Amino acid sequence: MNGIIIINKEQGLTSRDVVNKLTKILNTKKIGHTGTLDPIAKGVLVVTVGRATKLCELLTSEYKEYIATMKLGIETDTLDITGNTIKEKEYNVNVDKIKEVLKSFLGKSIQEVPKYSAIKINGKKLYEYARNNIDIEVPKREIDIKSIDLISYKEDTITFKCTVSKGTYIRSLIRDIAYKLNTVGTMTDLIRTKQGNFAIENSNTIEDIENNNYKLITYEQALNNYEIVNIDDNTYNKVKNGGIINKDFKNKIALLKYKDDIIAIYKEYVKDVTKAKPYIMLITN
C-alpha cells in the first residue's frame, strides 16, 4: 500500500499514537505523518503509507487552518487547560474589542514559542527544561497569519478561526491575544480543519480504517499543485535507474508519470538547467 490517508485525530491521542495504531491495523511499519498535533488537539493529521513516507517534506503545507477556543482570566504553564494555573486576571471585553484585537494579528509578526514544546535547544526539548524548572531563553520565530475571525464570544470563552503559517503555535497566539485584551488566557480546545489542500471533511477516523472504509489518496491527488510530465519508454528506462533526463517541465519540480503511475519526482539540475535529476523515487520495481 502506497498513498496518503487523512486522519481526523481524536483528543487525547498523540500523533505518534495514531501512527502506532495504524501500523497494527494496516500491518506495515512504513507509516509517517506531517504536522504534529498536541494530544489536546483534534482534526486533520496527514498520514503517509509505504513509499509515500518519502513525501513528508512536500506534504508539509505552508498554511494550516484551525478553530481555537480560549478561556479568559487564567494562564497555565503549558498555555492550555491541561496545565497548572500560573496567572489569574480579571477581564472586561466585548465583541468589538475582540474583533479589533484579532484583526491586529493579521500578517507577519514574531512569536515566542511555548516553554512546553518539542523544539530542541542544545539537544534537549524545551518541555524537558520546563519540567525540571530550568530557565532557558525561549526561541522566537516569524509567523504569518493569513486570516483570523471571531466565531463566538460568551461569558469567559472566545472561539475563533484562523489560517496560519507552518510553525505557528496556537497556544502562544492565544496567550498574546489575551495580553492585548489586557488579561490572560489559555487554550481549551483546538481543531485543525485544514492542512494545505487536505480538509477535515475528507478525513477518516481510526474506526474507519479498522473497518476498511477509508479513502487512500494517491500521489497525484496529494501533489496536485505540481506539474505532471508523462514520459515515454526511453525516458522511463533512464528514470528507473536514477538517471539525469532532459527537463521537459516549466517549474523546478515535477511529477513523472509513466503509463498510469507516478514513478518519481524530479527537480531541475543546478549544473545544467536544461536537465533534471532525481528528487524522490517512487518507482515500484
Residues serving a catalytic function are 38
Give the closest residue to 50 by CA, choosing from 33, 34, 28.
28
Give the span between the Cα atoms of 260 and 122, in whole angstroms: 47
Give the closest residue to 22 by CA, choosing from 1, 49, 40, 55.
49
Give the three cell numbers for residue 26.
494496516
In single-letter form, the type of residue at position 128 comes to E
Give the three cell numbers for residue 224.
496536485
Distances (CA, A) of 168 to 10, 35, 111, 171: 21, 11, 8, 9
